[in-house]
Amino acid sequence: MVRPGGRSARVQASVHAAVRELESEVGREGLTVPLVAARAGVTPSTIYRRWGDLQELLSDVAIERLRPETAPEEKGDLRSDLEAWAEQFLEEMASPTGRAYIRDALLGDPDGSNAGQCSAYAAEQIDVILTRAADRGESAPDVEMVLDRVVGPVMYRILFRPDGLDAAYAHQLVTGLLGSTDG
């Protein structure tokens, strides 16, 4: 269905752009499918056919915006790389915008594919960090362990227990995973 550069890709790009523009103009609560369609220059039925409803469209837009734009920063050793990444991940996800995208991604996602994509983004970033560590000859945990020890607790607290989400907490999770430097 999606041919790069074809009509399908153009429709997706213009509908996503329309959502982003209208969100900043009328706010989330003011969004409707007819409004998005008019701005994107498509018919409402094009949107209903492709996305089902507004919630599913917002979930797709959220996943696009949760996609990391760059590889994780390279600091030179595993602990520094993981701390920097965890701190930035927490800061982005726990921001009001990040929280809204996470909610959107989960809500309009009947088959779980967008939530899975969200987790795959984190796993890919972590894999880059762990591969660099292995290339430097450092011993490193595996990706699933980092998801359990760092990403899982951060996302759980964002959704269910949102107090105390700061850089110190991100560092504490990395210390719990790698051990204390003076321990």
Footprint on this chain of its own copies (rule: CB under 8 A) = 103, 106-107, 112, 115-116, 118-119, 147-149, 151-157, 159-162, 173, 176
Q: How far is the CB of 6 from its own copies (least distance, A)?
A: 31
Tokens representing residue 42 in the block:
């498509």
| Least spacing, CB of residue 89 vs its own copies, in Å | 13
Q: Are 3 and 9 in contact (CB under 8 A)?
A: yes
CA distance 90 to 108: 23
Structure tokens at 179: 């051990």
Is the Cβ of residue 134 or residue 159 nearer to its own copies in the bound state? Answer: 159
User: Judged by CB, which is closer to its own copies: 5, or 164?
Assistant: 164
Check: CB of residue 138 under 8 Å from CB of residue 78: yes
To the nearest whole angstrom, how small is the minimum distance from the Cβ of residue 33 to its own copies? 18
Nearer to its own copies, 34 or 162 (CB): 162
Q: Look up tokens 């907490």; give the residue.
A: 169
Integer Cα distance of 146 and 82 in angstroms: 9
Q: How far is CA 56 from CA 11, 78, 152, in A?
A: 15, 38, 24
35 or 107: CB nearest its own copies: 107
Q: How far is the CB of 110 from its own copies (least distance, A)?
A: 10
